[in-house]
């Protein structure tokens, strides 16, 4: 179980890191701002589902290795469910309404959550590897 938990945690950490720091940058480099924003907006719901599922499964598998790692991973799944079901809708509504101030505040919150989640995934990965 340790090897499976380790591989799943590495998949989650790597996928979250790549999406956060690589995918958006590539979209904006390859496409114009409007197309890149549309692409990101259409991709996030799928990305969030992937994170929720991967973090939940990894948390269940990791429970036999490290209960702290398991709870960190479940925390990622739950906070991603919030980001997908509530925060993303609020961000999209602010964008659609042209409310730049609210968008910046909500987007900033989503970035803080995402960075915290990447840190939690890395911590869980280290706990499983130890």
* 6-57: pLDDT as tens digits: 999 999 999 999 999 999 889 989 998 889 889 999 999 999 999 999 999 9
pLDDT of the residue at 107: 96
Q: What is the mean pLDDT of residues 106-127?
A: 98
How many residues comprise the chain? Answer: 130
What are the distances in angstroms from CA 101 to CA 28, 93, 104, 107, 111? 22, 12, 5, 10, 15
Separation of alpha carbons 51 and 18, rounded Å:
12
Segment 47-102, tens digit of pLDDT: 999 999 999 999 999 999 999 999 999 999 999 999 999 999 999 999 999 999 99
Structural domain including 102 reads: 2-129
Burial pattern 41-57, b for ≥16 Cβ within 10 A else e, equals eeebeebbebbbebbbb
Q: How far is CA 46 from the centre of its chain?
A: 11
């Amino acid at each position: 179980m340790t090897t499976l938990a380790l591989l799943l945690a590495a998949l989650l950490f790597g996928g979250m890191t790549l999406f956060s720091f690589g995918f958006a940058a590539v979209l904006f480099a390859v496409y114009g701002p409007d197309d890149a924003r549309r692409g990101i907006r259409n991709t996030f719901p799928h990305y969030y589902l992937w994170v929720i599922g991967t973090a939940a499964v990894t948390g269940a598998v990791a429970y036999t290795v490290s209960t702290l790692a398991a709870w960190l991973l479940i925390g990622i799944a739950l906070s991603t469910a919030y980001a997908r079901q509530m925060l993303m809708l609020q961000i999209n509504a602010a964008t659609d309404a042209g409310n730049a101030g609210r968008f910046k505040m909500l987007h900033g919150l989503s970035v803080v959550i995402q960075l915290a989640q990447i840190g939690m995934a890395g911590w869980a990965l280290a706990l499983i590897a130890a």
